[in-house]
Amino acid sequence: MCGLTYKSAGVDIERADEFKRRIATLAKETYTKGVVAGVGGFAALFDHSIARMKKPLLVSGTDGVGTKIKIACAMGIHDTVGIDLVAMCANDVLTTGARPIFFLDYFATGKLSEDIAFQVIKGIAEGCKEAMCALIGGETAQMPDVYQEGEYDLAGFCVGIVEKQKVIDGKRCKKGDVLIGLASSGLHSNGFSLVRKLIHEKKLDLKKTYADFDAPLGKVLLTPTKVYVKPILSLIKKVNPHAMAHITGGGISSNLPRVLPKNLRARVIISRIPKNPLFDFIRQQGVEEDEMKKVFNLGVGFIVVVPSKSADEALKFLKARGEKAFVLGELEAGEWGVRWE
């Protein structure tokens, strides 16, 4: 009589160990000078003294990709959601003025598919390079019965660093400050539960190229979240932002007020947002404008609040670096929140 084994229960330790050796190479490609010990041990080590700051503050952020993963699985495309994972975390950390320094991931699945997992981690490594941070650790968990075969979930953890005296926290915001918007690449990683419901109810075909798109709907939806680290860190050296907001779940209405004083509100001029056919497509499926504002970024992925005297310089600087930047509105006295115009 054979004894029970972990493998018979659905967890293949040898296969997982071999996979970890494969992804170690991807991780090492992201290492920066501060990495003391990365993937392979029980814990990673990072020397933050390389930042040469007088009073360094560590800044942390965590997030996931949500049900966008369902679209990735349906399309069989797994090399973009890892970029999403890094972007969602690194962009959050960035809002304080911090530079992301390292990243960790959590990949959970029912039965490990090395090919799928490798593509996901490959995307994470790509995202880390774009965010200029090191992938120094993570966890690959096999959980039979929790996830169906072929399914997986992701979580990410990012740590950044900023000089204490240079933290951007919104406290200096004042009436007349200008809102500089940076275009999103698409939905980023928010609103996919609603989008998936639309796909089901409207019987949309993920593999069909609809009017105004240059690729199948599924590929358009999987456009990875834009990483704003490089242009924003460069901008901070040129101008002195009063606040910054990463536009994620809840859109501008929920995210921008989080960095504003209670005596100010944002006047947002929706007509100034560059057109993105994906949002018009969603509107055409029956989602009303008020709901669009509450759920999606509408084409704005990141907002920088700058003094009015610095607005032109900021805009010129970002555009010179290839960013789709625009004046979205301004801050005004009034009830805390967003006033759409």
Q: Nearest Cα to 93, choosing from 302, 319, 313, 325?
A: 302
Token pair, residue 170, equals 């919104």
User: Tokens 């409207």 label which residue?
Assistant: 202
Q: Residue 247: CB partners within 8 Å, gap ≥ 6?
A: 184, 188, 255, 256, 297, 300, 301, 302, 303
Give CA–CA dist 8/149, Å, rounded.
Answer: 15
| Cα dihedral across residues 319, 324, 326, 331: positive or negative | negative
Q: Tell me the pLDDT tens digit for each residue of 183-203.
A: 999 999 999 999 999 999 999
Q: Tell me the pLDDT tens digit for each residue of 125-171.
A: 999 999 999 998 888 888 888 888 888 999 999 999 999 999 999 99
Q: Residue 112: CB partners within 8 Å, gap ≥ 6?
A: 12, 15, 16, 19, 140, 142
Q: Tell me the pLDDT tens digit for each residue of 287-316.
A: 999 999 999 999 999 999 999 999 999 999
Give CA–CA dist 91/96, Å, rounded.
Answer: 10
pLDDT at residue 42, as a whole number: 80
Torsion angles phi and psi, residue 218, rounded to 5: -60, -40
pLDDT at residue 52, as a whole number: 86
Burial of 290 from C-beta contacts in 10 A (0-12 / 13-18 / 19+): exposed
Average pLDDT over residues 269-275: 95
Residue 249 has pLDDT above 80, yes or no: yes
Taking residue 243's Cβ as centre, other Cβ atoms within 10 Å add up to 26
Pairing between β-strand 337-340 and β-strand 264-268 as defined by DSSP bridges: parallel
Question: E strands of the chain, at which residues?
Answer: 35-37, 45-46, 56-64, 99-109, 134-142, 152-163, 178-183, 243-246, 264-268, 300-306, 325-333, 337-340
Q: Tell me the pLDDT tens digit for each residue of 98-124.
A: 999 999 999 999 888 888 999 999 999
| Cα dihedral across residues 123, 124, 129, 131: positive or negative | positive
Average pLDDT over residues 258-266: 95
pLDDT at residue 181, as a whole number: 98
pLDDT at residue 8, as a whole number: 59
Is residue 315 within 8 Å of 178, Cβ to Cβ? no
Residue 13 has pLDDT above 70, yes or no: no
Token pair, residue 302, equals 């990141």
Taking residue 222's Cβ as centre, other Cβ atoms within 10 Å add up to 24
Beta-bridge partners for 303: 181, 245
Token pair, residue 332, equals 């005004």
Q: Tell me the pLDDT tens digit for each residue of 33-62.
A: 888 876 777 877 878 888 888 999 999 999
Residue 1 has pLDDT above 50, yes or no: no
Multiple choice CATH, 178-340, 3.40.50.300, 3.40.605.10, 3.90.650.10, 1.10.3720.10:
3.90.650.10
Average pLDDT over residues 212-230: 96
CATH of domain 13-166: 3.30.1330.10
Count H helices and E strands in the chain, helices first. 11, 12
Q: What percent of the chain is predicted at pLDDT more than 70? A: 94
pLDDT at residue 236, as a whole number: 96
Domain ranges of the chain: 13-166, 178-340
Give CA–CA dist 13/2, Å, rounded.
Answer: 18
Token pair, residue 150, equals 């072929």
Give CA–CA dist 114/104, Å, rounded.
Answer: 19
Give CA–CA dist 246/198, Å, rounded.
Answer: 25
Token pair, residue 261, equals 């004083």
pLDDT at residue 150, as a whole number: 82
HEC-encoded secondary structure of 34-49: CEEECECECCCEECHH
Residue 2 has pLDDT above 70, yes or no: no
Q: Tell me the pLDDT tens digit for each residue of 72-86.
A: 999 999 999 999 999
Residue 9 has pLDDT above 70, yes or no: no
Is residue 251 within 8 Å of 276, Cβ to Cβ? no
The confidence band for 28, taking pLDDT boundaries of 50, 70 and 90, is: confident
Q: Name the pTM for this structure.
A: 0.93
